Amino acid sequence: MLGWTTTSRQSWTPTITIKRVEPTSSSVAVGVEQVQWLCQQRQAGEVTALDAIVADGHYGNHHFFGPLGQEPCALLARLRRDRVLYGPPGPYKGCGRRPKHGRRFSFKQPETWGKPDDEVEFLDERWGQVRLRRWDNLHDKQDAVTILSVIYAEVHRERDKPPAPLWLGYKPGHTDYVVREVWSWFDWRWPIEPSIRFRKQGLFWTLPALQESDWCDHWTWLNQTAFWFLYLARPLVADQHLPWQKPAAQLTPARVKRAYPALFSVIGTPAAPPQTRGNAPGWPTGKPRQQKEQHKPVKRMRVKPKKKQTI
């Protein structure tokens, strides 16, 4: 799901596009297709604003950054803490093949980092004492063409036991920004988590046990459309909090859903009221039942062949 985060600390993330991951594909490949589609739509509309794609650690690799290297959007993804990257290669020595990798940059070995290209310290209202360091012109061993920047974020340094630092991979778009501005984008990644949880619990996204893939896709798009209706209805409804809840000035998706029946009564409907028709006739007598076609489960993980025992 590619969502649009409207507010940094609220669970409002309407869906831009969503696609089911087929057994022959992967979530990273689907994410690349969605970002490319978004960039094409923005270019066709002659939009000059910079789109920042903020992803979780599953997308922090060259499989995601590589195909999107020429896109005008900015990419920011969390990286694993045990990664090893490499700097640009040195000059050609005149013998052998030309080098592809330069100095080694190991996340677990600070002595390999060297002097950062950008460094800043500041006090943040949410993250406390923050220190950011940025190194440019790094690449993965499997893909020396994809160049990205690495940001090392230390937060709440004023505590006796601060949380573990974060590593972020960054690819600038058509406009580069300073490290403090790029770090602020990562805070916009959080709202997608509670918004997905609300889709599952409040809009019953994963409740129906549908048997066809097309049915699942139709139900998914219907669910995402309902979330858009809730988002557009925010200024049209009033808070109807429960007796043990505090009034909220900024409504969450769950509170907008609770106040939606009042909006229905104002809008009305052109449909006729439902009429009771008695009990359902049930399955016709004598009509044969056809069993649904069953398929074997698709396993994504590679199965190692068993070793032959030698006597």
96: alpha, beta or left, given left = phi > 0 and alpha = psi -120 to 50?
A: left
Tell me how far the alpha carbon of residue 48 is from its chain's centroid: 23
Write the DSSP assignment of 44-105 as a string of letters.
HTT--SPPEEEE-GGG-SHHHHTTTTTSSSEEEEEE-TT-EEE-------SSSSPP---SEE
Q: Give me the pLDDT at residue 100, please.
A: 87
Q: Rounded to an integer, what distance in angstroms lies between the CA atom of residue 38 and that of residue 59?
A: 17
Whether 113 has a pLDDT exceeding 70, the answer reads: yes
**What are 149's two structure tokens?**
């920047």
Position with higher pLDDT, 99 vs 115: 115
Average of pLDDT values for 38-66?
91
β-strand pairing of 74-79 with 52-55: parallel
Mean pLDDT of the chain: 90
Whether 223 has a pLDDT exceeding 90, the answer reads: yes
Q: Give me the pLDDT at residue 122, please.
A: 94
Average of pLDDT values for 81-89?
93
Contacts of 192 (CB under 8 A, 6+ apart): 1, 3, 5, 13
Other beta carbons within 10 angstroms of residue 250's beta carbon come to 11
φ, ψ for residue 180 (rounded to 5)? -70, -40
Contacts of 263 (CB under 8 A, 6+ apart): 233, 236, 237
Whether 86 has a pLDDT exceeding 90, the answer reads: yes
Burial class (CB in 10 A: 0-12, 13-18, 19+), 279: exposed
Average of pLDDT values for 28-37?
95
Position with higher pLDDT, 299 vs 37: 37
**Percent of the chain's residues with pLDDT above 90:** 64
Whether 219 has a pLDDT exceeding 80, the answer reads: yes
Whether 248 has a pLDDT exceeding 90, the answer reads: no
62 within 8 A of 140, measured Cβ to Cβ: yes
Q: Rounded to an integer, what distance in angstroms lies between the CA atom of residue 129 and that of residue 162?
A: 10
Window from 14-18, 55-59, 206-210, 267-271 with minimum mean pLDDT: 267-271
Average of pLDDT values for 94-100?
81
Whether 303 has a pLDDT exceeding 70, the answer reads: no
Q: Given pLDDT bands bounded at 50, 70 and 90, which one contains residue 80?
A: very high
Average of pLDDT values for 165-188?
92
Q: Given pLDDT bands bounded at 50, 70 and 90, which one contains residue 298?
A: confident
184 within 8 A of 74, measured Cβ to Cβ: no
Average of pLDDT values for 166-192?
92
Q: Rounded to an integer, what distance in angstroms lies between the CA atom of residue 96 and that of residue 8?
A: 52
The DSSP 8-state label assigned to residue 157 in this structure reads T
The DSSP 8-state label assigned to residue 167 in this structure reads E
70 within 8 A of 76, measured Cβ to Cβ: no
**Percent of the chain's residues with pLDDT above 70:** 97
Q: Given pLDDT bands bounded at 50, 70 and 90, which one contains residue 98?
A: confident
Domain boundaries, given as residue ranges, for the chain: 2-195
Contacts of 144 (CB under 8 A, 6+ apart): 86, 89, 100, 101
Average of pLDDT values for 92-120?
89
Average of pLDDT values for 250-263?
91
The string of pLDDT tens digits covering residues 140-151 is: 999 999 999 999
Whether 309 has a pLDDT exceeding 70, the answer reads: no
Contacts of 176 (CB under 8 A, 6+ apart): none
Q: Given pLDDT bands bounded at 50, 70 and 90, which one contains residue 311?
A: low
Burial class (CB in 10 A: 0-12, 13-18, 19+), 228: exposed
